[in-house]
Amino acid sequence: MRSKALLLGLLCAVAAQTARAQPPAPVEIKIGALYASSGPYASISMPVAAGFRLWVDQTNANGGAEVKAFGKKIPIKLIAYDDQSSTATAATLYNQLITQDHVDLLIADSGSVLTSVGVPIAKEHKQFLFDVSGTGAAFFTDDNPYVALMADPVSTIWPHYISDFLADEGAKAGIKTVAILFSTNDFTGTQAAALKGFFEKDGKVKIVYYQGVPTTTSNYTVLINNIAALNPDAVLELGYVGNDIAFLRNLQDSGNQFRFVFSIYAGVEKEEIEKNVGVSALTHIYTYVPPSNYEYVPEVGMTQKEFHAAWDKKYPPGSKVTFGANAVYGYMTGLVVERALATAKSLDQMDIHDAVFALSGKLKTLDGTFVLRKDGAQIGEVTPLGQLQPEGKDDLTLVAVYPPDMANGKAVIGK
């Protein structure tokens, strides 16, 4: 009799302990995110937000995200605020999401500037920050486990293939001098500095022009003429969408021609740029080949073609958002969230951190291979060098030309 009572007591104790250790499953997983519907960062932020929302809607349509901590599917509730491209507003809203909405997962706004204010706030509140595309090197330090870059590599990795190409095939074609014109912000300034270092180290191509201009620059006519006066073989213009549109328009209007012209967003946001500058201004422009124009073989989530079709269905032509790399970045971040929830032991932020870092090197999506450095910086998901080449009468195709193992076409270098 006594032993039965003892056994019953033990069972009750174990049951109580289990009940304490396993909190009840929440009705929904709250994900907080910021976006900018207006201001200078709207053009990169809105496609990210739309891509992420597409993932949320798809997930909820399938009954929710698989959450290992509770052994079941739980619907996602997205709480998204508009920071209007203001860092001050963004800072307040990051706080709002953490302290008032008590979100389970926190997604940063797009780009380095609007992510920058979220990094110390997330660290202070010990909330893991899913940094979508804030590539600023200063965000990633060994003493901050509460941030990781999701969808594109840190700025220093982006331009590697440009310098490699010019030092290799460019040098063979007689390219000896280069002009670098860049917008002075974290994203493009860091790339310009990295390129300068690569060229100086290689010693095969000489920099004859190296100039930073404010990101607000909207007229490049004088700058293009200054560059033309130095007669460089290659011109690399590194700016945001608005900068690239202005530069490419002004370049065409000026009548100046260079053997090799590079622009970041000519390929990264091809549809948006093409809509604004036309096909002729983009022909033979070199650019990065983003995941929206390259067929990686995903092991998780949709392929690039499936995603593009889903995007066109949800955001038909004429919508405010256009398909491009940032759309993929938003969706890709959703995939990381999905896999993290499916493997994290609990919703504790350090468990989320561990789950995200455990995906490093293993997660292959339409954005390439997700690889994190120890400090949270993204070093996978590389961007091959490409060129916009004519396809038919009035169309352009983005061809990957370097590195050779990723190339699907041959570069055409001007005479």
Partner 1 sequence: MRDTRIRRIVLDTGIAAAVVVAMGVARGVYSNELMLFNFIIFLTLAQGLNIIYGFTGYLPFGYVGFYGAGAYGFALVVMHLHAPAMIGMVAAGVAALVLAVILLPLLRLSGAYFAIASMAAAQAVYEIVANPDLEDITKGPYGVSLADVFAPAFSYYTALAILAATLLLVVWLRNSRFGMSLQAIRDDSISAAMAGVSVVRGRTIAWLLSALIAGLVGGVFAWHISVFYPDTAFDLSVSIFATVFLLFGGATTLCGPLLGVFILYGIYNVIGIAVPQYFQFTYGALIVLLVLFLPNGLVSLLTSRGIRVP
Q: Which residues bind partner 1 (CB under 8 A)?
A: 37, 81-82, 84, 86-89, 91-96, 99-100, 113, 116-117, 119-121, 124, 136, 138, 141, 184-186, 189-190, 212, 214-215
Q: Which is nearer to partner 1, 41 or 294 (CB)?
A: 41
What percentage of the chain's residues is helix, strand, coil (to nearest 5)?
Answer: 45, 20, 35
Closest distance to partner 1 from the beta carbon of 141 (Å) = 8
DSSP tag of 231: -
Q: Could you tell me the smallest distance in angstroms from the CB atom of residue 134 to partner 1?
A: 11
The enclosing H or E element of 237 equals strand 234-238
Q: How far is the CB of 27 from partner 1 (least distance, A)?
A: 22
The least CB distance from residue 352 to partner 1, in Å, is 21
**Neighbour-count burial for 206-238, b at 16+ CB within 10 Å, e otherwise:** ebbbbebbebebeebeebbeebbeeebbbbbbb
Q: In angstroms, give the least distance from the CB of 113 to partner 1.
A: 6
Cβ proximity to partner 1: between 112 and 387 the closer is 112
The distance of closest approach from Cβ of residue 37 to partner 1 in the complex, given in angstroms and rounded to an integer, is 7
**Residue 51 vs 189, nearer CB to partner 1:** 189
- In the bound complex, what is the minimum distance in angstroms from residue 189's beta carbon to partner 1? 6
Note the helical H segments in 62-152.
87-95, 112-116, 118-124
Nearer to partner 1, 215 or 343 (CB): 215
Query: Hey, what's the torsion of the CAs at 200, 205, 207, 212, to 10 degrees?
Result: -80
Tokens describing residue 195 = 């390129």
Nearer to partner 1, 376 or 386 (CB): 376
CB-nearer residue toward partner 1: 91 or 300: 91
Q: How far apart are CA 361 and CA 384, in angstroms?
A: 18
Please say which residue, 100 or 231, places its beta carbon nearer to partner 1: 100
In terms of DSSP bridges, do strands 72-74 and 65-67 run parallel, antiparallel, or are they unpaired? antiparallel
185/292 with CB nearer partner 1 = 185
Non-local CB neighbours of 41 within 8 Å, separated by 6+ positions: 85, 109, 110, 111, 113, 114
Amino acid code (one letter) for 311? W
| Residue partners of 71: CB distance under 8 A and separation at least 6 | none
DSSP assignments along 274-315, one per residue: HHHH-HHHHTT-EEE--GGGS----SSS--HHHHHHHHHHHS
Contact partners, residue 117, CB within 8 Å, separation at least 6:
87, 90, 91, 94
Locate the DSSP E strands across 50-97: 65-67, 72-74, 76-82
Q: What is the nearest approach in angstroms of partner 1 to the Cβ of residue 410?
A: 36
